[in-house]
A = this chain, B = another copy of it.
Amino acid sequence: MGVRHIGADVRRLEDPRLLTGRGRYTDDIRRPGMLQAAFVRSAHAHAAIRGIDLSAARALPGVHAAWALADLGSPLADGPMAQMAPSPLIKQDRVQHVLAKDEVCYVGEPVAVVIAESRHIAEDAAALVAVDYDTIPAVVDCRAAMEPGAPVAHRDAEGNLAAKLAVGFGDVEAAFTDAPHVFTVDLMQHRGGAHPMEGRAVLAEHDPETGKLTVHSATQSPYLVKRLLARLLKIDEQDLRVVAPDVGGGFGPKAVFYPEEAVLAVAAMKLGRPVKWAEDRREHFVATANQRDQHWRLEVACEADGRMRGIRGHVTHDNGAYLPYGLILAATALAPFPGAYALPSLSLTLDVVYTNTTPTTPVRGAGRPNAIFAVERTIDCIARNLGLDPAEVRRRNYIRPEQFPYVTGMKARDGSPVAYDSGDYEHCLDTALEMADSAGFAARQAEARSRGRYLGLGVASFIEDTGLGPFEGVHVRVTAQGGVHVTTGAASQGQGHATTLAQIVAEKLGVELGKVKVTSADTDSFGYGIATIASRTAVTAGSSAHLAATEVHDKAVRYAAALFEVEPDRIVLEDGMVKVAGTNQSILIGEVALALAGTIAQPIPAGLSPGLEATGYFEARATPHSSGSNVAEVEVDIETGAVHLLNYIVVHDCGRVINPKIVDGQITGGVVHGIGNALFEEMVYDAAGQPVSTNLGEYLLPTATEIPPIRIGHVETPSPLNPLGIKGAGESGTIPAIAAIVAAVENALQPFGVVVDRYPLNPERVVDMIDAARAATPA
């Protein structure tokens, strides 16, 4: 029996390179004659542009071009960018031009570009561009934006509503009629940002001889960039290559197409020189999509024992100044309902609202953290009001293992009914509570309180729809040396795809992991791809790798069966060889590859086609649902308002685990992301729409010192929806984290009667909450 790779706790193949500084990110790529770009960005949240004077910028030595929109010429100057996700539900579709035309709608909107010999010259020249603005009142708060008479985010718009969404099932009216209890939660969820280590970066090159345009971009979606660039530039896709080289984190904002990608491409074509732009951190705050502000107001009807009868409510969703990605982010905030619970009825509406702030797109979890926060806060509200154990209220409402596949009543994007495939929610919760020593928590809490210290325990459960379709593809080729080359369109931003795919392929082909090399995210290397988003790559690319490797395996078996004149079922692939089981007859897998490569002196054996290779496309037509529970234990310093995370437990079910180390890394990173959301990160705008926290001194990211021990347990309920039983894991650390931490803080502050309805829980807000609760409580 050969070595098993799937499920083995192998180290990431990428890490020796990445951890010793040998990654090759877009900004690491240098080309002879390369120029650098800097963008002139709007200084106002809302203004008309009366004129742009580029003459001083153009006169600066070393400047090759300074352009406003009109200078870009047709087709880029002809109109706004394409809507990436068109929907008939969009009432007012606003997508920006690649450079502002005659109106700017958020601080940071690109207005002009300067291309120069160096970045510093380009920045100096950008500062010389004189834009004549005529300011217009801005709208900043999404609820205020829906008030009558509010300023409009676009001067020629009819109000600020972009779209209205609604979801639901069951008889909500009946559920609330005569309900034993109805409770209300009112929640403000903050936008924050994604803040990958690497900002965005683009390098565009055009070869006038071949007509080929090559764009390197720090993107999650090279195929989307290719498709939209070709459409915007009116060029044939075969003349366009998009590569996502090493990318230092994505988390969602890098999944969409940006103006800079189009501007750089045109610059390379017009100037005949490679042109690069790498975002700086200050730009990243305003020029790269943020998360979103959402206000949630929910009512829940429940039985006396805490079992829910129905939920109804309304969400106001701030999409920022534009709608580049359609309604995907907004819709994804409703899609996770009813969470882990067998909810009989639901009715939710959501307003997608424009404001004069940076546009928003999905960030890790893509709205699911918001939905799960709302659901879990609702459960905690029931427990608090009914005096029940929050864990017990969850148990009473969970979908039970025997109910799978569980049809929730929701509809998927294609209109088909949503069905959860598998899970064991109660087992996850109970395991997490046990790992957290929840049984001993009451004593710990009491002991602490006796010393004037405030401990809290919070739990949160979640489900996540993962493995979004339609597909990714993987090509597998065996070399004459017994190496295995795996090529895929699935882009990596550091998630360890190369290792995961290598494990799947090595397992099937019986080769050492080190023999497998993965190339990804180069549209010239693999023809089709979707994007690395939505916890989908292990499911889609992983399953495709398995399909492709299986086809290669079967071809090697047929070759060897004919060679050794035995039945195919006696052939096994292991230790780099293709063997007749139970004999010493074998051939190196590389020798099989060589034989199938053919030479003029060596024909392909009859019945086989050239090449030991195959392409697999796994089409994800149904959705594997990951699930689990988190438990957070915190201490709140009621004097300073500081929240200390003491312990954090995740019990997680992503079906069959390919690489425990990578899954644990994803979960840990996801929890840290949630910790940032819950406690630290705040993107503050003033009333005029000026962002006031555009550096990492004012916008606080969690660092190692803020992170508690995060312990992870795995429950594996394999998905029946793909050959390896995989579910996604990339976002599920984040999704319940805010809810668990907020619940723990609320639990810690229970003596003061604090009910937490918003985040981040930074020290000032914690102190304010305590003060407000004390003030509201009769002494």
Contact of A480 among B227, B530, B617 (CB under 8 A): B227
**CB of A555 to closest CB in B, whole Å:** 13
**CB of A219 to closest CB in B, whole Å:** 15
**CB of A274 to closest CB in B, whole Å:** 12
Interface segment, one of A40-48, A311-319, A466-474: A466-474
Given A524-B525, A610-B473, A611-B528, A481-B237 contact (CB < 8 Å):
yes
B527→A237 contact, CB < 8 A: no
A611→B530 contact, CB < 8 A: no
For residue A424, CB closer than 8 A to chain B, the reply is no
A600→B237 contact, CB < 8 A: no
Residues of chain B within 8 A of A224, CB atoms compared:
599
Interface segment, one of A433-441, A601-609, A665-673, A694-702: A601-609
Q: Which of A586-632 contact B (CB under 8 A)?
A: 594, 597-604, 609-611, 613, 617, 619, 621
For residue A483, CB closer than 8 A to chain B, the reply is yes
For residue A452, CB closer than 8 A to chain B, the reply is no
For residue A50, CB closer than 8 A to chain B, the reply is no
**What separation, in Å, do the CA atoms of A533 and B414 have in the docked complex?**
52
Contact of A598 among B210, B483, B530, B609 (CB under 8 A): B530
For residue A453, CB closer than 8 A to chain B, the reply is no
For residue A292, CB closer than 8 A to chain B, the reply is no
Contact of A238 among B87, B227, B470, B485 (CB under 8 A): B485
For residue A405, CB closer than 8 A to chain B, the reply is no
For residue A209, CB closer than 8 A to chain B, the reply is yes
Residue of B nearest to A515 (CB): B236
B231→A86 contact, CB < 8 A: no
Residue of B nearest to A606 (CB): B621
A610→B470 contact, CB < 8 A: yes
B613→A479 contact, CB < 8 A: no
A237→B483 contact, CB < 8 A: yes
Given A32-B32, A531-B600, A236-B483 contact (CB < 8 Å):
yes
**CB of A427 to closest CB in B, whole Å:** 32
Given A32-B32, A609-B617, A480-B230 contact (CB < 8 Å):
yes
For residue A24, CB closer than 8 A to chain B, the reply is yes
**What separation, in Å, do the CA atoms of A594 and B227 have in the docked complex?**
9
B602→A470 contact, CB < 8 A: yes
B236→A479 contact, CB < 8 A: yes
A527→B617 contact, CB < 8 A: no
**What separation, in Å, do the CA atoms of A557 and B8 have in the docked complex?**
45
Q: Which of A130-174 contact B (CB under 8 A)?
A: none
**What separation, in Å, do the CA atoms of A530 and B604 have in the docked complex?**
12
B209→A24 contact, CB < 8 A: yes
Contact of A619 among B533, B534, B599, B609 (CB under 8 A): B609
For residue A101, CB closer than 8 A to chain B, the reply is no
Query: What does the 1/0 interface line of A480-524 toward B look like (CB < 8 Å)?
Result: 110111000000000000000000000000000000010000001
B597→A414 contact, CB < 8 A: no
**What separation, in Å, do the CA atoms of A326 and B469 have in the docked complex?**
53
For residue A85, CB closer than 8 A to chain B, the reply is yes
Main DSSP-derived SS at the A contact region: loop
**CB of A639 to closest CB in B, whole Å:** 48
Residues of chain B within 8 A of A531, CB atoms compared:
600
For residue A17, CB closer than 8 A to chain B, the reply is yes
A600→B527 contact, CB < 8 A: no
Sorting the interface of chain A by its residue count into under 10, 10 to 19, 20 to 34 or 35 or more gives: 35 or more
B470→A604 contact, CB < 8 A: yes
**What separation, in Å, do the CA atoms of A674 and B478 have in the docked complex?**
43
Residues of chain B within 8 A of A527, CB atoms compared:
477, 611, 613
**CB of A597 to closest CB in B, whole Å:** 6
For residue A22, CB closer than 8 A to chain B, the reply is yes
**What separation, in Å, do the CA atoms of A86 and B604 have in the docked complex?**
17
B530→A237 contact, CB < 8 A: no
For residue A413, CB closer than 8 A to chain B, the reply is yes
**CB of A23 to closest CB in B, whole Å:** 9
**What separation, in Å, do the CA atoms of A589 and B483 have in the docked complex?**
38
Residue of B nearest to A238 (CB): B485
A17→B209 contact, CB < 8 A: yes
Residues of chain B within 8 A of A473, CB atoms compared:
610-611
**What separation, in Å, do the CA atoms of A772 and B505 have in the docked complex?**
75
**CB of A602 to closest CB in B, whole Å:** 7
Query: What does the 1/0 interface line of A636-668 toward B look like (CB < 8 Å)?
Result: 000000000000000000000000000000000
Given A231-B480, A236-B479, A470-B617 contact (CB < 8 Å):
no
Residues of chain B within 8 A of A610, CB atoms compared:
470-471, 473, 528, 617, 619
Contact of A236 among B231, B481, B604 (CB under 8 A): B481
**What separation, in Å, do the CA atoms of A227 and B530 have in the docked complex?**
33
Residue of B nearest to A483 (CB): B236
A413→B601 contact, CB < 8 A: yes
**What separation, in Å, do the CA atoms of A524 and B601 have in the docked complex?**
23
Query: What does the 1/0 interface line of A79-106 toward B look like (CB < 8 Å)?
Result: 0000001110000000000000000000
**What separation, in Å, do the CA atoms of A470 and B22 have in the docked complex?**
42
**What separation, in Å, do the CA atoms of A230 and B530 have in the docked complex?**
34
**CB of A687 to closest CB in B, whole Å:** 36
Residues of chain B within 8 A of A611, CB atoms compared:
473, 527-528, 617
Residues of chain B within 8 A of A235, CB atoms compared:
481
Residues of chain B within 8 A of A32, CB atoms compared:
32
A227→B597 contact, CB < 8 A: yes
B471→A598 contact, CB < 8 A: yes
16 chain-A/chain-B pairs, Cβ below 8 angstroms: A223-B597, A227-B597, A227-B599, A231-B480, A236-B483, A237-B483, A469-B600, A470-B599, A470-B603, A471-B598, A473-B611, A524-B525, A527-B613, A528-B610, A528-B611, A530-B599
Given contacts A238-B484, A328-B600, A534-B600, 10 further A-B contacts (CB under 8 A): A223-B597, A227-B480, A237-B479, A326-B601, A470-B603, A527-B611, A527-B613, A528-B610, A530-B599, A603-B619
User: 7 closest A-B pairs (Cβ-Cβ)?
Assistant: A236-B483, A238-B485, A237-B479, A470-B598, A470-B603, A236-B481, A528-B611
